[in-house]
Amino acid sequence: MNQGDSERLAVAPIDALSLPAHGQRWRARGKGLVVPLAILATLEAVVRLGWIPAYQMPPPSDIALTLADLAHGPLWGHIGTSLLRVLGGFTLGASLALAVAAWVGLSRQAEAYLEPTLAALRSIPSLAWVPLLLLWLGIGETSKVVLIAIGAFFPVYLNGVAAIRGIDRKWVEVGQMYGFNRRRLVRRILLPAALPGLVTGLRGGLSLAWMFLVAAELIAASKGLGYLLSDGRETSRPDIVLAAIIVLALLGKLSDGLLAALERRWLGWRDTYTGQAPGA
């Protein structure tokens, strides 16, 4: 082996691993834009050709203009109001769900008492809660935040219980062999082992929090993205309705991306399958 071959082998790990990994992330992001851009281009062409009436489905270019007009007007106020409601409801619902999930997951007696009731409650549609919350809490912010909390609660609870019950019993036995008390067992073994399922539940709960936000704001609100949807419907402005839907989709994607970034940071220690074939 000559000196040139040795130099190439020394540089290979950097060129073959670091740089392609960075490039692959950007390529993956680019691939994620292919479908949305194709849909937008198709809709633009279909509407411009007259195959779909513009009063039913405005072309994406007109929706972009509507978004620009709203951005110079009330849009940011609606976004801020909805963000605060989602943040409050998600924090309340997820916190309560994590506590109940830990209780039920670690105690068979708690499961016997609570699981039948919670199973019945999670089958109730979101809109069925609205009249009751309006009667109990009025049309103020409290009823909206509580409705969002209800939506966020059940995905976090279900995934939390499943994550705790899915922990390998051998890991717990090893901790007991080393003399771990209950607190140390939870901190060193149970929590790290359950964390992937807990993060999945938090992401699902956040998605449902955005869905329940729209249900809350469509019924009783004077501000927010759900109110903007209702206003567009009442004024026969499909461009406003679609603009509000697009903003909701972007906010949902951004918030889920934040949790996904935290997941990569918290769970970077895992050696898991990435979906790429060996040697690819």
Q: Which domains does the chain have, with CATH numbers?
A: 73-266 (1.10.3720.10)
pLDDT for the residue numbered 271:
64
Tell me how crowded residue 172 is: count the other CB atoms within 10 A of its CB: 15
pLDDT for the residue numbered 48:
87
List b or e across 179-208, with b for residues whose CB sees 16 or more CB atoms inside 10 angstroms. Answer: ebeeeebbeebbebbbbbbbbbbbbbbbbb
- Report the C-alpha gap between 159 and 105 in whole angstroms: 10
Collapsing DSSP to helix, strand or coil, 2 comes out as coil
- Residues 198, 160: contact at Cβ < 8 Å? yes
What single DSSP character describes residue 235?
Answer: T
pLDDT for the residue numbered 22:
57
Tell me the whole-structure pTM to 2 decimals: 0.82
Return per-residue pLDDT of the chain as tens, 280 residues: 455 554 444 444 444 444 455 566 677 677 878 888 888 898 889 888 889 888 888 888 999 999 999 999 889 999 999 999 999 999 999 999 999 999 998 888 999 999 999 999 988 887 888 888 888 888 888 999 999 999 999 999 999 999 988 888 888 888 888 888 878 888 888 888 888 889 999 999 999 999 999 888 877 778 899 899 988 888 889 999 999 999 999 999 999 999 988 888 887 776 666 666 555 4
Q: Report H helices in the chain.
A: 3-13, 19-32, 34-48, 60-71, 75-106, 108-121, 126-137, 141-165, 169-177, 182-185, 191-219, 225-234, 238-266
- Report the C-alpha gap between 101 and 159 in whole angstroms: 8
